Amino acid sequence: EVQLVESGGVVVQPGGSLRLSCAASGFSFNDYTMHWVRQAPGKGLEWVSLITRDGGSTFYGDFVKGRFTISRDIRKKSLYLQMNSLRAEDTALYYCATETDCIFRSWGQGTLVTVSS
C-alpha cells in the first residue's frame, strides 16, 4: 500500500525557514516524480514544486520566487521542501504527492505550516 507521511509543519515567524519532509513507503520511490501541493485554509489546491525521478530536474510555482528548494533522497525514500523567507500567505497544509503521466496518483495527509508573528 502506498504511504506518504509528511512532517515538519510548525508555526514560524514571517521571514523564517522550515524544512518539510515526506516519507514514502509501499512503492518504488524511484519510479515517481514527486510534488508538493498546498492548500491554504478554506481555499483550493495550489501546486508548489516538483522533482523528477532521478532528482535531475526541479520546477516551482511562480510565487516561490527562489525561496523554496525541493529535493529527494532515494536511499531514505524521502522528499523534502526547504522553505525560506516565509510569508503569511505561505500558511497552508502542504501535501506531497506521487505523479506519473502528469496525474497525481497518491497523496499524503499533509503537514500544516503556519506563518505568523
Partner 1 sequence: EIVMTQSPATLSVSPGERATLSCRASQSLSSKLAWYQQKPGQAPRLLIYGASTRATGIPARFSGSGSGTEFTLTISSLQSEDVALYYCHQYSTWPPGTFGQGTTVEIK
Pick 19 or 105: Cβ nearer partner 1? 105
**In the complex, what is the shortest distance from the CB of residue 90 to partner 1, in angstroms, rounded to a whole number?**
17
Residues at the contact surface with partner 1, assessed by CB under 8 A? 35, 44-47, 50, 59, 61, 95, 101-110
User: How long a stretch of residues is the chain?
Assistant: 117
Pick 106 or 114: Cβ nearer partner 1? 106
Alpha helices for the chain (secondary structure H): none
**In the complex, what is the shortest distance from the CB of residue 96 to partner 1, in angstroms, rounded to a whole number?**
10
Q: What is the SS3 assignment for 92?
A: strand
Q: Is the Cα torsion angle 23, 18, 37, 68 positive or negative in sign?
A: negative
